[in-house]
Structure 1
Amino acid sequence: MQNLIEMSRISKSFGGSHALREVSLTLMPGTVHALMGENGAGKSTLMKILAGVHQPDSGEIFKNGHRISFSNPRDALEFGISTVFQELSLLPNMSIAENMFLGREPRTRFGGLDRRRMRQETRAALERLGLNLDPGMLVSELSIAQRQFVEIAHGIDADAAIFILDEPTAALNAADVEILNRHIRDLRDQGKAIVYISHRMDEIFNICDTVTVLKDGRLVGTRPLSDMTPSSLIAMMVGRELSDLFPLRSQRAGDDAIELVNVKIDVRAKPFSLSVRKGEIVALAGLEGQGQQKILRSLVGEFQPFSGTAVICGHSIRLPMRAKHGIRAMQKIAVGFVPEDRKDEGLFLGLSIEHNLSISLHAARKEFSIARSYRDIIAATMRGMNIKSSGPSAAAGSLSGGNQQKVLLGRYLAARMDVLLIEEPTRGVDIGAKSEIYKLLREFADRGGAVLVLSRETLELIGLCDRICVVHGNTVVAEMPAADATEHGILDAALGA
C-alpha cells in the first residue's frame, strides 16, 4: 500500500527553542494514526506544519510520492488536508452557519450571500453528527461541548483525504464520543487517513490502528497498537507505568468541610444530601447532563437550585445563593472554584502567570488596604507545582494546557483555600501533567483540604478519589468507596439500575 503522506526529518524552532528535531511520520490510507506525547512534545507543531500553519526549518513532505509544501492553511485544505485544532477557531459573534462557511461563502446568482444554502448544508452536516442545532444560533450561545462538535462537523464536512483531529473529544461525553468515533470509522473505511491526538487511553485503543510517540520534540517510535498496552504506551511516553499515575489514598479523614442537606436541583428532582470531609477527595460521577455540574455550581451561585442548605467550612448557606457575588463570597470563606473552561472562565490569558496566581491573594485583602508584593509566594507556588515557563512574567496564554491548568489550580493553593470545587481537573492535559495534578490534589487533601470534583473520565475518578457519588436525574442515587468502584458499577448506577 502506497503512503498517503510522508513527513521526512522535519525540524522546527521558535527563537532558541527546538520544537521538533528531525521527526518523521508516515500516514497510510484507510488508517487512524494516534500521535501521542506529553504537552510540549511537538505534536501540535508537527500537525500545524502539515496543515500549513507553520513552515518547517528543514525536512520534506510528500503526498503520494510527490513533494508538497503549503504557505497557509487554505492551501492545505484545498490540497485535501482538514484540521480540527485543540484551540477552537470558531468566532463567537457569528452564527454556526457563518462559521461553517467562513472563507468559502456561497453566492447567489446576483452576487449576494446564499444564506439559505448555508443554513441547509450546515443543518445537514450537524445532523450527520447527531446534532439538532439551529444553524442561525450564535456560537457564543453554545456550550463548550457543542462548540467542539461544530468544529468537528466543519472539519469532517470538508472533502479531504487527510483529517487531523487534535483533542477532538476533550469536551465530549461518552455518548458523543461514540458518535464521533462512528464517523471516524466511516472516514477510515473510505480510504482516508486520520491523525488522532488525544490523552485518553481508552479512545486511542478503541479507534486507532497505529501510534507514533514524540518526546521533547524527538521521535520515540512508531508501533502497531495491537502490540501495545496502556501501560506500555504510557511507559513509552513518560517512562513510568500506569499504576504509578495516581498517588496513594489517604487513610484518615476529619470533620465535614462540605455538608449538603435536602438539596433539590429543580422542583421535580428528589432531594439529596452529601458530605465531603477534611482530607477527602469526593467525586460527582454520572452520564453527561444528569446534574453533576449543577450541584457543583450551586455552591458558588453559578446555578440556582430549587432549595436546600449547604454548610461549608462552618458557614450555613441557604440555597439558592445570590449569583452576583457567589464566587467571591466563597473565596472569603476559603473555597476555590476551578471551572471546566479554563480559557473563558478561569484564566486571564493575556495577563502574566504572576497576575493569574495572585488574583485570589489580592481578593482576600480588605478594601483600601495597601497593595503588597506576593513575589515570594508566587515563586514558591510555581516551583512547588513545577509550572514550566520562561518566568512569572510570561503570559498565561503562552503555556501548554497542563501548565495553564496548574496555574489555575495554583491560584487557590497559593491563597491557602480549605475547599476546592473542581470541574474536569485534567481536561486536555497530557499524561505527565495529569500525574502531577493528581499528586497536588492529594497533597492538598492530606494537609486537611477537602475536594469535590467532577470528571467525564471515570477511571480518573476511580483512581483519584476516596468516595464516588453517582448522579442521575439531578439527584445523588448511589455512593461507593472509590477503591471498590468499577466502571461497570458506576455506569449501572448512572443508568438508574
Structure 2
Amino acid sequence: MTGRVPVPATKERVPLIEFRQVSKSFGPIHALREVTFAGHGGTVHAVTGENGAGKSTLMKLLAGVQSADAGEIRLSGAPIRFQGAAQAREAGIATVFQELTLLPNLTVAENMFLGREPRAFGIMDRKAMRRMASAALEHIGLGIDPDVTCGDLSVSEQHMVEVAKASVARSDIVIYDEPTAALDGPGVDRLVHLIGEQKRAGKLVFYISHRLDEIFRLCDVTTVLKDGRHVETRPTSELSRESLVSLMVGRELGQMYPPRSAGLKGDLLTVRDYRARVGGSEVSFTLRRGEIVGLAGIEGQGQRDIVRALAGLHHAGDGVASKIGEDGAAVPLSSSAVGNTRQGIGFIPEDRKSEGLFLTLTIEQNIGIGHLRTIPLARAAVIDRKSIGNLMQSMRIRARDSRQLVSSLSGGNQQKVMFGRWMSSGVDLLLVEEPTRGVDVGAKAEIYRLLRDFTDAGGSVLLTTSELTEHLGICDRILVVREGAIVAELDARDATEEIVMTHALGARHETGARA
C-alpha cells in the first residue's frame, strides 16, 4: 500500500458527519452506548476496535440499514434519520460492506446500477448502463467485462465490483467495512488509489479495519470503540502501534505474544526430500514437540503447498514425511486428510467459512466433529455439552451457549471454534494457515495463547501467515520459502523483518541463517 495522502487545506472544518450520544441495543445486548465523535470531508477516518466493539453497527446506522435507539446523527449540521438504505444512498452515503451484496445471477453492470438504472424515454438504457459500468471499471483498473455475471467472478473480483459500485454513486461519504479482507495484492493497490482520489475530491471516507498497518499507512484520523463506547478520536499521526493497541484492548503491544517455549521434547515430524507438488522443489525439515515453526516468504512461493500436502489435501510428489511417536517409531503420513487426522494431525485452513466451519451447525457440533477421529461411530451423535462448555470458557469463546449457530459469531470467535475442534480432539500436530486472518487484535492475543498452550502441552505447530510480525512474535523457528524451496532457517529470537525479507527476495544474508 502507498503512503497516506496529505489532508487538503480547507477554509472551514464543519463536520460532514457528527454522531451525538448515539446508542443502539439488540435485546439485552448494548451494541452502542452514547457514542459521540465527528468526521470531516477530505479525510480518511479509521473506525477500529475489537470484534464486537460496535464498529459495523455504527456504520449500519449511518448507511440506513438500522436505526438508532437514542441520540442523533447530523449530516452537514442537520439531523438525519433514514428510513432505509435507499434514503441514505439518496443523501450521498455509499457503503462497501464486508459481506458481498451482489446478486450472482445478474451481470456486473446490472449489479452496479441496481435500483438506479439509467433510462431513456422511460425504458432502461442498457447501452448507457454498460458504457458507464465499463468506464467505472476501467477507472479503478479492473479489466472485467460488464456483461459477465457476478457469479462467474472470483471473490476478489466481486469485492472490487462492490468498490466500483460505490464509486459510481454520487456520494460525499463512502464507508469501507474491512475492504481488503478478500482482496489480492493488485486489488488492494487499486482500492488505495481510489481512496486517495476520493479524499482529494473532499469526500469523507470511513475506513473500518483492525489491520494496524492499513490504519497507519492510509488513515488521517482514528476513532477507537470498545464495548460499544467511544474511547478516543485522534489524528493517526499522534498514535503509535503500541498506544493504538492499548486503546483497543487495554494491553500493550509487547503483551500480545506469550513467552516462547522453555524447552523441546523430541522430534514429532520429519520431512525428507519432500516435494509438495509433482515436479516441485525438495524440502527437508524437522518439527519438534513444544515448538511453533513458521513458513515465511513472499506470498505464493509454496508455503501453502507444503502445509496442504502434509495435511493430505493434495497428492505430494517424491520424498517422505513421517510422524514420530513417543516411542520413537516413525510412521509415514497418510496420503489422505482423513488418514492424517487419525494419526493425530489437525488442519486449520485460511478460509474458515468455506473450508473450515459448518456454518449451519452449532458451536458444539463444530467442535464435536474433532472427536469423531477417535470415538466409535455408535457414539458419534453423543455430545458432551459440559466439556465443550468448559472448553468454550477456557478459550474465551463469546457466545450465548454451545448451541448457538457458529454463523452468528464474530470472526475471532469463529476462528477459536476451529482451534477448539482440534485442541479438544487429542491431536498433537497442528497445520495452520493464517491463524489470525480477519480477527481483531484482542482475539489475536487469545489465539497466540492457545497456540502456545498447545505446544507447552507437548504438541507442535507448523503455520503460514502473511503477517511477518506474526512470524517474529509467535514462532520459535522460521523457515524461509522461495520458489518452493526452504532457503533459510532462522531462530525467531534473532530474526528481523530485514533478514527474513532478504532471504525471501533472494539477496544473500548470512546472519542467523542456515541455508
Q: TM-score, normalised by structure 2?
A: 0.87
Per the alignment, do residues 422 and 69 of structure 1 end up closer, same or farther by CA in structure 2, a change over 3 Å counting?
same
Match of 1:380 in 2: 390
- Aligned partner letter, 1:184: I
- Aligned partner letter, 1:293: R
Q: Does 1:215 align with 2:231?
A: no
- SS where residue 234 of structure 1 aligns? helix
Match of 1:441 in 2: 451
Contact 1:173 1:288 in 2 (8 A): no
Q: How far apart, CA to CA, are the structure 2 residues paired with 1:47 and 1:157?
A: 20
Contact 2:117 2:124 in 1 (8 A): no
Q: How far apart, CA to CA, are the structure 2 residues paired with 1:30 and 1:186?
A: 10
Contact 1:6 1:27 in 2 (8 A): yes
Q: Does 1:52 align with 2:68?
A: no
Per the alignment, do residues 489 and 363 of structure 1 end up closer, same or farther by CA in structure 2, a change over 3 Å counting?
same
Q: How far apart, CA to CA, are the structure 1 residues paired with 2:140 and 2:270?
A: 41
Match of 1:42 in 2: 54
Q: How far apart, CA to CA, are the structure 1 residues paired with 2:496 and 2:102?
A: 37
Per the alignment, do residues 152 and 255 of structure 1 end up closer, same or farther by CA in structure 2, a change over 3 Å counting?
farther
Q: How far apart, CA to CA, are the structure 1 residues paired with 2:273 and 2:208?
A: 43
Match of 1:8 in 2: 20
Q: How far apart, CA to CA, are the structure 1 residues paired with 2:320 and 2:154?
A: 28
Match of 1:275 in 2: 286
Contact 2:294 2:477 in 1 (8 A): yes
Q: Given the alignment, which residue of 207, 222, 237 partners 1:226?
A: 237
Q: How far apart, CA to CA, are the structure 1 residues paired with 2:266 and 2:148?
A: 47
Cα shift at 1:237: 1.6
- Aligned partner letter, 1:418: D
Per the alignment, do residues 119 and 40 of structure 1 end up closer, same or farther by CA in structure 2, a change over 3 Å counting?
same
Per the alignment, do residues 282 and 233 of structure 1 end up closer, same or farther by CA in structure 2, a change over 3 Å counting?
same
Cα shift at 1:44: 0.8
Per the alignment, do residues 96 and 13 of structure 1 end up closer, same or farther by CA in structure 2, a change over 3 Å counting?
same
Q: How far apart, CA to CA, are the structure 2 residues paired with 1:127 and 1:258?
A: 50
Per the alignment, do residues 312 and 10 of structure 1 end up closer, same or farther by CA in structure 2, a change over 3 Å counting?
same
- SS where residue 34 of structure 1 aligns? strand
Q: Given the alignment, which residue of 414, 431, 434 partners 1:404?
A: 414
Q: Deviations over 1:89-112 (max 9, x none)?
A: 344565555544444455688957
Cα shift at 1:138: 5.8
Match of 2:426 in 1: 416
Q: How far apart, CA to CA, are the structure 2 residues paired with 1:240 and 1:420?
A: 28
Q: How far apart, CA to CA, are the structure 1 residues paired with 2:260 and 2:58?
A: 38
- Aligned partner letter, 1:213: V
Q: How far apart, CA to CA, are the structure 2 residues paired with 1:23 and 1:102?
A: 33
Cα shift at 1:169: 1.8
Pairing 1:75-474 to 2, within 5 Å after superposition: 75-92=87-104, 96-105=108-117, 111=123, 114=126, 122=133, 124-133=135-144, 143-172=154-183, 176-266=187-277, 269-313=280-324, 314-317=330-333, 321=335, 326-369=336-379, 371-474=381-484
My pick for the range that moved more, 14-23 or 248-257, is: 248-257
Contact 2:47 2:224 in 1 (8 A): yes
Q: How far apart, CA to CA, are the structure 2 residues paired with 1:451 and 1:128?
A: 44
Per the alignment, do residues 128 and 464 of structure 1 end up closer, same or farther by CA in structure 2, a change over 3 Å counting?
farther
Per the alignment, do residues 93 and 240 of structure 1 end up closer, same or farther by CA in structure 2, a change over 3 Å counting?
same
Contact 1:10 1:56 in 2 (8 A): yes
Per the alignment, do residues 371 and 404 of structure 1 end up closer, same or farther by CA in structure 2, a change over 3 Å counting?
closer
Cα shift at 1:183: 2.3
**Structure 2: tracts of 5 or more residues without a match:** 1-12, 325-329, 508-515
Q: Does 1:69 align with 2:63?
A: no
Contact 1:40 1:400 in 2 (8 A): yes
Q: How far apart, CA to CA, are the structure 1 residues paired with 2:457 and 2:73?
A: 53
Q: How far apart, CA to CA, are the structure 1 residues paired with 2:492 and 2:158?
A: 32
Match of 1:28 in 2: 40
Per the alignment, do residues 370 and 347 of structure 1 end up closer, same or farther by CA in structure 2, a change over 3 Å counting?
closer
- SS where residue 302 of structure 1 aligns? coil
- SS where residue 412 of structure 1 aligns? helix
- SS where residue 288 of structure 1 aligns? coil
Cα shift at 1:486: 1.9
- Aligned partner letter, 2:323: I
Cα shift at 1:447: 0.8
Q: Deviations over 1:150-186 (max 9, x none)?
A: 4333333433211111111224456653443232222
- Aligned partner letter, 1:65: G
- Aligned partner letter, 1:32: V
Contact 2:277 2:305 in 1 (8 A): no
Contact 2:432 2:463 in 1 (8 A): yes
- SS where residue 455 of structure 2 aligns? helix
Contact 2:372 2:380 in 1 (8 A): no
Q: How far apart, CA to CA, are the structure 2 residues paired with 1:32 and 1:192?
A: 9
Q: How far apart, CA to CA, are the structure 1 residues paired with 2:305 and 2:142?
A: 23
Q: TM-score, normalised by structure 1?
A: 0.90
Contact 1:377 1:414 in 2 (8 A): no
Q: How far apart, CA to CA, are the structure 1 residues paired with 2:109 and 2:267?
A: 50
- SS where residue 310 of structure 1 aligns? strand
- SS where residue 483 of structure 1 aligns? coil
- Aligned partner letter, 1:220: V
Q: Percent identity?
A: 48
My pick for the range that moved more, 447-456 or 290-299, is: 290-299
Per the alignment, do residues 461 and 91 of structure 1 end up closer, same or farther by CA in structure 2, a change over 3 Å counting?
farther
Cα shift at 1:354: 1.2
Q: Deviations over 1:287-327 (max 9, x none)?
A: 22222222222223334444443223543147xx3xxxx33
Q: Given the alignment, which residue of 504, 507, 513 partners 1:494?
A: 504
Contact 2:333 2:340 in 1 (8 A): no
Q: How far apart, CA to CA, are the structure 2 residues paired with 1:304 and 1:151?
A: 36
Q: How far apart, CA to CA, are the structure 2 residues paired with 1:275 and 1:341?
A: 27
Q: How far apart, CA to CA, are the structure 1 residues paired with 2:95 and 2:224?
A: 20
Contact 1:5 1:27 in 2 (8 A): yes
Cα shift at 1:88: 3.0
Cα shift at 1:442: 0.6
Q: How far apart, CA to CA, are the structure 1 residues paired with 2:311 and 2:219?
A: 40
Cα shift at 1:358: 0.7
Per the alignment, do residues 133 and 245 of structure 1 end up closer, same or farther by CA in structure 2, a change over 3 Å counting?
same
- Aligned partner letter, 1:446: D
